[in-house]
Amino acid sequence: MKAKFVVWGYFCILLLCISSCRHTGYPPLLAKVDSLTNVRPDSAILLLSTLKTSIQQENEAMRMYYRLLCIKARDKAYIKHTSDSAILPVLHYYIKKNDRRHLPEAYYYAGRVYRDLGNAPQALDYFEKAVDALPEKDHSVLKEKIYSQTGTLFAYQNMPEEALKMHKKGIQLSYANKDSIGLYFNLRDIGNMYKELNKPDSTIFYLKESEKISRQLHRKDLFNMIQSQLASIYTDIKQYDSARVALHHALKDIRQSNRSSIYSIAAVFYHSTAKMDSAIYYYNKLLKCGNVYAKRDAHAVLLEVAARKQDIKQMVRHLRGYHLYTDSIQKITQTETIQRMHSLYNYQLREKENLRLKEESRQRLFLLWIIGSGLVILSLAFFAYRQYSRGKKQKLEEQIRKFRQIEAEKSRKIESLEEYKHQKEELEKKLQSANIRKNETTAIKIKQKLELINHILGQDKIESEQETEAKDELFNSDLYEQLRARANSARGEAYITSGEWDILKNLMTPAYPTFFTRLNFLHTPNENELHVCILIKLQFRPADIARLLQLKPETISSIRKRLYQKVTGEKGTSEQWDKIIHSL
């Protein structure tokens, strides 16, 4: 009820403003809404919605100011931007008008939009333009926010030194503007950047300064927020008493967004202080709600715990989990290279050049309109051809990727088994050492590792033996002998019924467990192609395949060549396709 009363109070005030501004227009009213966005963005959104219809009757300047306020209010209310369609017309308007009053803010919110959209280079470019659009000696809160956002963007791109520069510029403006909240976050962010740079003393100094601000503001939420980061750095430098106190406060304020971080810090702290029951408790929590990095680390520690307890089932579980999340992290890392980070700078240069070219393009616009009809037809034809070519190329690239993926999987499996065998030999040698035999604890650990490796190698051996038995059953089956006989008999007697195809598939599945899965992964064959592939796998000659399928030999050869080209993107021989089939 109180919240509704406040909103209606604001609404009544604004209605009075409307009545007092009938002769002068909306600027005073919109200015009041602008101020409201900073303290009650939800109320500002509600009030702006009541003006949606009436604002359409105003001039373009009023409408653009209104649209800028709508974007600002949503941003202040932490409503994520999902499109740039709202900000771009506003930004282009203020650029065209060279409006020094609203242009910096328009650039800033354009940066905020593109940050939400995941376009870091574009966001950084707009933040830089926002600073350039402000007077050099400007010390406004807007400039402070721009530096803070730029620093955060650099931090996300793993550029701590550049981020540190931005946050230090921001902190100067926080002091100048007496902005305590901004000062708190800038101090915290500077501390975090020093942690990334491996400077613990500086990290603790700035985090403690941030803690002082939270105490002065009597903000328990801000105080607890900084405690998790203090607990982390104190644990890193082995000041466990201080870490314990900080962690105690941090665990009082666990939200969905910070669970992974706080649970990770708690797990590491208790692990470091040899309180394994508590550490295991938080590592198990991380398996449910942690990010991929936290889950990988949790599986690694829990694997060691299971090994000490000789719990083979849990060892296998955590070993698989560790490999799963390690693979996930490797994929993430591949997309976040140093080249991408430095592309932030290169992008700015490209954008400036693009703006120059766009300006020249506008000057030629009149001429383009004259010949526009012809160009539209040509463009549509070119677009259709390009889409066709692109689709064909993408499909081909996908096929090549799948083929290489299968080859890589096979190589990884072979390499993994060889590595396990090598580790086994090394561990067995160590176990024979006199020094190791004297050290009972070390000997037990080596035996546990050997037991795990022997289990893995044993599983692989069992699978290989099962496949060998299945192959013997397949090639000694009555059906296989019948097909061989038909292939060598008169032409009219060669055939395979639909029921026999089903029996063949059932016999092949245990003998070649990955064959059908990998074949369909590479290319989904039609019926004729599938039958050809099956008979190749069963070691029938091309002439025999032709007779059994009642097709011409050249047709069989054509199918094999066509399949090779579809999968690899290159022309090849029939025999090259046969090699691929035998490798699946």
pLDDT digits (tens, 9 = 90+) for 95-137: 998 888 899 999 999 999 988 888 888 888 899 999 998 988 8
Rounded to whole angstroms, how far apart are CA atoms 566 and 224? 59
pLDDT 10s digits, 527-582: 888 898 999 889 899 988 888 888 888 998 999 888 888 888 788 898 988 888 88
pLDDT for the residue 456: 76
Classify burial at 119, counting beta carbons within 10 Å of its beta carbon; exposed 0-12, middle 13-18, buried 19 or more: middle
What is the distance between the alpha carbons of residues 184 and 372, in angstroms, rounded to a whole number?
57
Query: What number of other Cβ atoms are within 10 A of residue 417's Cβ?
Result: 14
Q: What pLDDT is stored for residue 108 in this prediction?
A: 93
Is 22 strand, coil or helix?
Answer: coil
Angle 58-61-66 (CA atoms, 0-180°, nearest 5)? 75
Average pLDDT over residues 346-360: 58
pLDDT band of 12, cuts 50, 70, 90: very low
Contact in structure between 212 and 200 (CB atoms under 8 Å): no
First-to-last alpha carbon distance for the chain, in angstroms, is: 69
pLDDT of 468 strictly over 90: no
Q: Which residue has the higher pLDDT, 392 or 91?
A: 91
Q: How many CB atoms lie within 10 A of CB 357?
A: 9
6 pLDDT tier (thresholds 50, 70, 90)? very low
CA count, 13 A, side-chain hemisphere, 114: 20
Dihedral angle of Cα 360, 362, 364, 367, to the nearest 10 degrees: 170
Three-state SS at 512: coil
Tokens of 319: 């070993």
Task: Give residue 437's pLDDT.
Answer: 62
State how far the alpha carbon of 521 is from the alpha carbons of 392, 398, 530, 569, in Å.
Answer: 18, 10, 13, 15
What confidence score (pLDDT) does residue 410 get?
67
Residues near 214 by Cβ (< 8 Å), separated by ≥ 6? 184, 220, 222, 223, 225, 226
pLDDT band at 334 (very low <50, low <70, confident <90, very high): low
Q: What is the pLDDT of residue 465?
A: 80
Q: What is the pLDDT of residues 503-514, one digit of tens each?
A: 988 988 888 888
Nearest to 456 by CA among 501, 507, 419, 410: 419
pTM: 0.51
Residue 209, pLDDT > 90, answer yes
